[in-house]
C-alpha cells in the first residue's frame, strides 16, 4: 500500500501504455487501462520462438508510443520518429519545434486522430504527428500524465492548490472543463474519469464526469480501476494489513459485486481482454491468475515470479519482470509458458523500464534506449 500511495502522490508513469491497427497509442494502451492490443495478430506462439533484436536506438528515453505505422520516442533532444521495421530515423521534432527551452523529459505520450500529445511536468504539447508541426501548448503543474479519448485530452496533477484535473480539446488545446482537486489519472470507463490521490494521509479515489468534470462520487476504498465498455473492474486495497487485496467487478458506487483474493502487495499489475482479467497474485508463491469476467471465477493460476507489468496481444500474456530484465510469455487459454525473452542490452546500469507489443514487434524500453524485437 505504501508504494501505491507514493505513486498517487508522485505519479510514476508505466509505459507498457486509439489509432487503429496494431498500435500502442498511450500508456496502458487505451483510456480504459486494459493493457490489451486487440489489433495485434501477426505475433504467434510459433513465430515468437524466433524473436530476435532487429534494431536499437540509444539515448535517455523518457517515453514512446507506436501509432500510425511509426514509433514516436521522447529523447532529451526532442521527439524522434522512427520506422518500426528498420528503426530508420524519419524525423526529429526539435525542442524549438516543441516550443521548449530545455531538454525534453516526457511524463508520457498519447496519440489520437493524427495528433501526438506530449506531457511534461509543466506543459501539455500537441503536434501534428506526421509532419511534426506544432499545434498548441498548455501550461500545467506537476502533471501525472495524459489519456486521450476521441478528441478530448484528459490530464491530472498531484498537488492540491491550483493543480486541477482538466479536459482539453485535442485540436485546439482549449479548456473543456477543469476540476480543482487534481490526482493521478487512472482510467476513463463508461463516461467516468477515475483518479487517485492522497487526502489527509490516506488513499482516495474520485470519480468525475468525463463530459463536465463534475464530481460524481468518492469511492469507499482505494482502487486500481480497469474497464471495458461500461463494465468496470478493479483491484481494491482494504487498508488493513491483515486483509488481502481483492479483484472483482465494481458497482457505480464503488462496491465490489464479486471478488477473488489476490494476497497482500502494494499493487498488482492488471490486464483485461478476451473476457478475462489477468493479475499478479501474491501468497506463499507468486502467481499469475486468469479470472473470467463472465463466470466470475479463476480459470487458471500459474507460478510467475516478479510481475511488474502485464500486456495482452495475439492470445498471449506478456509478463514483464523488471528485476530479472525479462518478459515471460504465456498462452491466454491455459497459461502454458511459450518463451522467456531476455532483453538484450539490459543490465543493472541499463534497466528495463517497460515493454510494448505492437506492429508485429516487442519493444523493450531501457533506461538508455529502445530495442525492437521481431520474429
**What DSSP string runs through 163-211?**
--EEEEETTT--EEEEESS--EEEEEETTEEEEEEEETTEEEEEEEETT
What per-residue confidence (pLDDT) applies to 20? 43
Can you tell me whether residue 316 is helix, strand or coil? strand
What per-residue confidence (pLDDT) applies to 267? 65
What per-residue confidence (pLDDT) applies to 8? 38
**Are the beta carbons of 301 and 335 closer than 8 angstroms?**
yes
What per-residue confidence (pLDDT) applies to 7? 41
What per-residue confidence (pLDDT) applies to 197? 76
Assign residue 232 the CATH number of its domain: 2.130.10.10
Q: DSSP label at 347? A: B
What separation, in Å, do the N-terminal and C-terminal C-alpha atoms of the chain show? 39
Task: Give residue 159's domain range.
Answer: 2-374
**What DSSP string runs through 40-103?**
--S--HHHHTT-EEEEEEES---EEEEETTEEEEEETTEEEEE-TTT--EEEEEETTTTT-SS-
Nearest Cα to 274, choosing from 251, 252, 300? 300
Q: Reading across the β-sheet that carries 352-358, which strands appear in turn?
A: 52-58, 369-374, 361-366, 352-358
**Are the beta carbons of 250 and 256 closer than 8 angstroms?**
yes
The alpha carbon torsion through 280, 282, 284, 287 (nearest 10 deg) reads 0
Q: What is the pLDDT of residues 174-204, one digit of tens each?
A: 999 999 877 888 999 999 999 987 665 677 7
C-alpha cell at 89: 530515423
Structurally, how many domains does the chain consist of?
1
What per-residue confidence (pLDDT) applies to 123? 93
**What sign does the CA torsion over 83, 323, 10, 262 have?**
positive
**How far, in Å, CA of 166 to CA of 77, rounded?**
28
Q: Reading across the β-sheet that carries 192-199, which strands appear in turn?
A: 184-189, 192-199, 202-209, 215-219
With a cut of 70, list the residues of the chain below it in pLDDT: 1-21, 159-162, 198-201, 240-241, 265-267
C-alpha cell at 194: 477515475
What per-residue confidence (pLDDT) applies to 363? 96
Q: Is the pTM for the entire model greater than 0.85?
A: yes
The alpha carbon torsion through 332, 358, 187, 170 (nearest 10 deg) reads -160
**How far, in Å, CA of 235 to CA of 293, rounded?**
13
Using DSSP bridges, classify how beta strands 184-189 and 316-321 pair: parallel, antiparallel or unpaired.
Answer: unpaired
DSSP H helix total and E strand total for the chain: 2, 33
Amino acid at each position: 500500500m505504501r508504494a501505491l500511495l507514493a505513486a498517487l502522490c508522485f505519479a510514476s508513469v508505466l509505459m507498457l501504455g486509439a489509432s487503429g491497427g496494431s498500435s500502442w497509442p498511450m500508456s496502458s494502451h487505451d483510456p480504459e487501462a486494459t493493457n490489451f492490443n486487440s489489433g495485434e495478430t501477426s505475433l504467434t506462439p510459433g513465430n515468437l520462438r524466433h524473436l530476435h533484436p532487429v534494431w536499437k536506438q540509444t539515448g535517455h528515453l523518457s517515453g514512446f508510443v507506436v501509432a500510425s505505422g511509426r514509433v514516436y520516442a521522447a529523447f532529451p533532444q526532442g521527439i524522434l520518429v522512427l520506422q518500426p521495421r528498420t528503426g530508420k530515423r524519419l524525423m526529429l521534432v526539435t525542442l524549438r519545434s516543441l516550443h521548449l527551452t530545455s531538454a525534453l523529459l516526457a511524463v508520457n505520450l498519447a496519440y489520437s486522430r493524427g495528433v501526438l500529445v506530449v506531457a511534461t511536468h509543466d506543459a501539455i504539447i500537441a503536434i501534428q504527428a506526421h509532419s511534426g508541426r506544432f499545434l498548441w501548448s498548455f501550461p500545467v503543474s506537476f502533471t501525472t500524465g495524459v489519456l486521450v479519448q476521441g478528441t478530448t485530452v484528459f490530464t491530472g496533477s498531484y498537488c492540491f492548490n491550483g493543480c486541477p484535473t482538466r479536459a482539453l480539446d485535442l485540436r485546439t488545446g482549449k479548456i473543456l472543463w477543469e476540476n480543482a482537486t487534481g490526482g493521478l489519472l487512472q482510467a476513463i470507463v463508461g463516461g467516468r474519469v477515475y483518479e487517485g490521490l492522497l487526502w489527509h494521509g490516506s488513499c482516495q479515489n474520485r470519480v468525475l464526469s468525463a463530459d463536465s468534470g463534475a464530481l460524481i462520487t468518492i469511492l469507499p476504498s482505494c482502487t486500481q480501476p480497469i474497464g471495458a465498455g461500461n463494465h468496470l473492474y478493479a483491484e481494491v486495497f482494504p487498508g488493513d494489513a491483515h486483509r488481502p487485496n481483492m479483484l472483482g467487478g465494481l458497482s457505480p458506487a464503488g462496491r465490489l459485486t464479486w471478488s477473488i483474493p489476490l494476497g497482500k502487495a502494494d499493487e498488482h499489475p492488471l490486464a483485461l481482454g478476451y473476457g478475462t482479467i489477468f493479475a499478479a497474485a501474491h501468497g506463499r508463491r507468486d502467481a499469475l491468475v486468469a479470472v473470467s469476467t463472465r463466470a466470475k471465477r479463476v480459470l487458471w493460476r500459474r507460478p510467475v515470479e516478479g510481475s511488474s507489468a502485464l500486456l495482452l496481444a495475439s492470445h498471449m500474456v506478456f509478463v514483464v519482470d523488471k528485476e530479472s530484465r525479462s518478459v515471460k510469455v504465456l498462452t491466454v487459454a491455459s497459461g502454458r509458458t511459450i518463451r522467456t525473452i531476455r532483453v538484450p542490452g539490459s543490465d543493472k546500469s541499463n534497466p528495463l523500464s517497460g515493454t510494448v507489443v505492437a506492429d508485429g514487434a516487442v519493444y523493450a524500453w531501457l533506461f538508455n534506449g529502445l530495442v525492437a524485437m521481431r520474429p
